[in-house]
Amino acid sequence: MASLGKTDSASDSALGYSTLESGVGNVILTSADALLGWSRGQSLWAFPMGTACCAMELIAASFSKFDFDRLGVFPRQGPRHTDVMIVAGTITEKMKPVVIRLYEQMAEPKWVIAMGNCAISGGIFYYDTYSVVRGVDQFLPVDVYIAGCPPRPESLQDGIVQLRNLVRAESVSPGVRYRRRTEIPLRTAPAPTTPAPAEPASAAPASAPSKDPA
């Protein structure tokens, strides 16, 4: 599934991350940040940079069964119309300048999702390859990594939701964006609790479950 970093699930409220605004900007600016971040996150138009089999899952995600429209994600074939580039597939050395050029044509603010193992690290082409770039993050600033070969459309949806949290936490004031990006608490699974020490079997009642799920 998509992963961004460490998290605190308590801060995952609808317009959360207000604590991040402390010491930055003022009341007007932080209110504008909240509104702009919310509206940007609700309509992330996607540029499908599909180069290999991950593009099949990307296409499936866009159609009726998974329906990315309800997340506000519309695929657009022109990079100038889009906010997020979804790199779905293997990027070869020959394709790299094309990807860079398309990324440069996208208007700011823009984000990048690396979808699939090939876009993350080269995947199965990591070894013994003469033509494959080992990860799109070697030349693009990737915001969300989605592992899988290929990932399910549900994983891509989860990546969009996590990217939306990231977009909401950004600021309109220049210079704040990148500093704050490192501070964002993001949602992942809660940390596993340490298992309780085993108790003597005679201490537990016979009717209770014999094993503590925690």
Rounded Cα–Cα distance for residues 194 and 192 (Å): 6
Q: At residue 36, what are phi and psi to the nearest 5 degrees?
A: -65, -40
Tell me which of 94, 182, 195, 208 binds other proteins, using CB under 8 A: 94
Q: Of 7-15, 18-26, 77-85, 120-128, which part binds other proteins (CB under 8 A)? A: 120-128
Largest CA distance in the chain: 70
The answer to whether 76 touches 110, Cβ cutoff 8 Å, is no
CA dihedral defined by 107, 166, 88, 97, rounded to 10 degrees? Answer: 40
Q: Of 6-14, 48-56, 122-130, 165-173, which part binds other proteins (CB under 8 A)? A: 122-130
Tell me which of 93, 154, 183, 212 binds other proteins, using CB under 8 A: 93
- Determine if 28 is a binding residue for other proteins (CB under 8 A): no
Q: Quick one: which of 83, 133, 92, 68 has its CA closest to 113? A: 83
- Determine if 131 is a binding residue for other proteins (CB under 8 A): yes
Tell me which of 3, 11, 129, 173 binds other proteins, using CB under 8 A: 129
Shorter beta-carbon distance to other proteins: residue 91 or 169: 91
Two tokens, residue 184:
């964002």
Q: Of 54-62, 109-117, 125-133, 143-151, which part binds other proteins (CB under 8 A)? A: 125-133
The number of residues that bind other proteins (CB under 8 A) is: 8
- Using DSSP, state whether 115 is helix, strand or coil: strand
Residues that bind other proteins (CB under 8 A): 93-94, 126-131
